[in-house]
């Protein structure tokens, strides 16, 4: 394709102005949108009014949680999945696991993971694309299911009362900024170090500083704690002194390592039935890698619906901001008629949106209900982690059309998969580059 220089001329602008003025409806939309948000004007109210919240299968009987001003949705969704079983064992209707506790360990582990990446990439120039991605992506809050499972496996869990929220756990920006500065400075020093001994000394000093910073912001994570509670029948229970690992082993109804990650990546470059991983994606050095199996959206729906029918919520990741009305808590693939207002086509399908950077996974939540007509899902009930002020006290309604377009990932029990998919999990994964959209963090 030959390159040509095509500046925007005064004649071009005059033609565009005349084209705009030639359609009277443009002026109507201009008046509407200059005084209101585009989503208010473009909202298809018929979609909202025909959605009801009833579900043929619904699990939640508890209150939602709130991640506040942090990007811990993947962690909240994982803990919300786990707490459903814990509540059953404790005999209570509402209970929260500490979200601050895994946040502390996730941050410290990420510091070490970043330092490991810097050492591995030390011989590359600073404008190398992979190294640039590592430097840019350092110390965010987002994550994926495998990263959550690795944290629970290594560090255990504790009740929220044992390590409650702090100002910084609920508002992570300042803490992350300072950790990011510490780590980028460490990257400079590691790249300038002359021998292995100097590198290890830098790592030791940085991890010491990082632990100190995290303890100041988040508090010191407990090594053991006294555990006692009163159930909903008024009966008091005391279980003595437990470590986080002992609490995990005693009170979790599920083993996070029984779950595998399934994604819907319809790009032609991503074969169905194959496993994938993403370069530099992870948080724990030596932990289980992020690994997922690519299957069609219908497979995700079938497995998710069956899990809910069997009494278990489902962790999932999606592109949350697309076609969402936050006040009523509704998602639908046709919720907004932007094309009608702008008189412009928006025709990218899911694969093209991934390929051309129009979509990626941005948020993780929990499916707690499904409305089935026979075996066909009509809509889904979603436990979000944005507090209880919106939607149905924090529970949202997702039409099935939205699931197909914007849900990318679920965590499913390995033994719930068909035999051919279980076998496919053992195939050596295809490694995607660090910047691939399927490596995005919810």
In this structure, the chain runs to a length of 442
> Is 261 considered catalytic here?
no
Catalytic residue among 146, 261, 294, 363: 363
Q: What is the DSSP string of 379-411?
A: EEEEE-SB-SSSTBTTEEEEEHHHHHHHEEEEE
* Beta bridge partners of residue 237, listed in sequence order: 229
> Which has the closest alpha carbon to 62: 42, 40, 88, 39?
88
The single-letter DSSP state of residue 159 is: B
CA distance 335 to 322: 9
> Is 171 considered catalytic here?
no
| Structural contact between residues 363 and 442, judged by C-beta atoms closer than 8 angstroms | yes
Burial class (CB in 10 A: 0-12, 13-18, 19+), 324: buried
SS3 43: strand
Instruction: Decide the pairing of beta strands 407-413 and 314-318.
Output: antiparallel
Task: Name all contacts of 297-301 with Cβ < 8 Å and 24+ positions apart.
Answer: 297/264, 297/266, 297/403, 297/404, 297/407, 299/262, 299/264, 299/421, 300/262, 300/264, 300/403, 300/407, 300/410, 301/377, 301/400, 301/403, 301/404
Q: Which helix (H) or strand (E) holds 424?
A: helix 419-424
> Which has the closest alpha carbon to 364: 166, 48, 151, 81?
81
> Is 217 considered catalytic here?
no
Contacting residues for 277 by C-beta, under 8 A, at least 6 apart: 289, 290, 291, 292, 429, 430, 431, 432
Catalytic residue among 146, 176, 384, 399: 384
Catalytic residue among 73, 111, 261, 318: 73
| Structural contact between residues 242 and 250, judged by C-beta atoms closer than 8 angstroms | yes
Backbone phi, psi, residue 155, to 5° = -115, -5
CA distance 145 to 96: 19
- Residues assigned a catalytic role: 73, 363, 384
């Amino acid at each position: 394709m030959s390159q040509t220089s095509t500046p925007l001329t005064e004649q071009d602008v005059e033609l565009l102005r005349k084209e705009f003025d030639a359609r009277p409806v443009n002026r109507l939309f201009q008046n509407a949108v200059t005084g209101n948000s585009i989503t208010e004007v473009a909202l298809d109210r018929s979609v909202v009014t025909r959605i009801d919240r009833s579900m043929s299968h619904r699990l939640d009987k508890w209150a939602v949680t709130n991640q506040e001003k942090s990007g811990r949705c993947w962690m909240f969704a994982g803990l919300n999945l786990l707490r459903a079983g814990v509540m059953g064992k404790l005999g209570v209707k509402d209970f929260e696991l500490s979200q601050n506790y895994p946040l502390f360990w996730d941050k410290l582990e990420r510091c070490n993971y970043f330092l490991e990446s810097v050492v591995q990439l030390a011989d590359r120039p600073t404008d190398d694309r992979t190294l640039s991605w590592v430097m840019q992506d350092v110390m965010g809050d987002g994550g994926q299911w495998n990263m959550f499972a690795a944290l629970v496996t290594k560090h255990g869990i504790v009740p929220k009362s044992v390590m409650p929220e702090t100002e910084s756990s609920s508002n992570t920006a300042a803490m992350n900024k300072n950790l990011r500065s510490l780590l980028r400075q460490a990257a400079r020093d590691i790249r300038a170090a002359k021998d292995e001994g100097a590198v290890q000394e830098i790592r030791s000093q940085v991890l010491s500083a990082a632990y100190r910073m995290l303890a100041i912001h988040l508090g010191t994570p407990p090594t053991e704690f006294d555990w006692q509670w009163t159930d909903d029948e008024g009966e008091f229970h005391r279980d003595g002194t437990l470590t986080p690992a002992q609490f995990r082993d005693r009170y979790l109804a599920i083993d996070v390592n029984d779950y595998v990650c399934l994604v819907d990546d319809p790009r032609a470059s991503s074969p169905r039935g194959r496993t994938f991983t993403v370069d530099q994606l992870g948080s724990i050095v030596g932990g289980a890698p992020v690994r997922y199996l690519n299957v069609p959206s219908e497979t995700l729906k079938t497995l998710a619906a069956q899990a809910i029918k069997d009494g278990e919520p489902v962790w999932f990741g999606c592109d949350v901001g697309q076609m969402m009305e936050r006040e009523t808590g509704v998602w639908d693939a046709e919720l907004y008629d932007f094309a009608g207002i702008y008189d412009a086509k928006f025709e990218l399908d899911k694969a093209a949106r991934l390929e051309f950077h129009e979509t990626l996974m941005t948020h993780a939540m929990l499916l707690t209900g499904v409305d089935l007509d026979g075996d066909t899902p009509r809509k889904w009930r979603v436990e979000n982690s944005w507090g209880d002020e919106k939607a149905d006290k924090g529970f949202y309604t997702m039409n099935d059309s939205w699931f197909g377009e914007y849900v990318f990932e679920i965590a499913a029990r390995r033994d719930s998969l068909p035999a051919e998919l279980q076998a496919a999990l053992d195939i050596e994964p295809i490694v995607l580059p660090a910047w691939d959209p399927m490596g995005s963090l919810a």
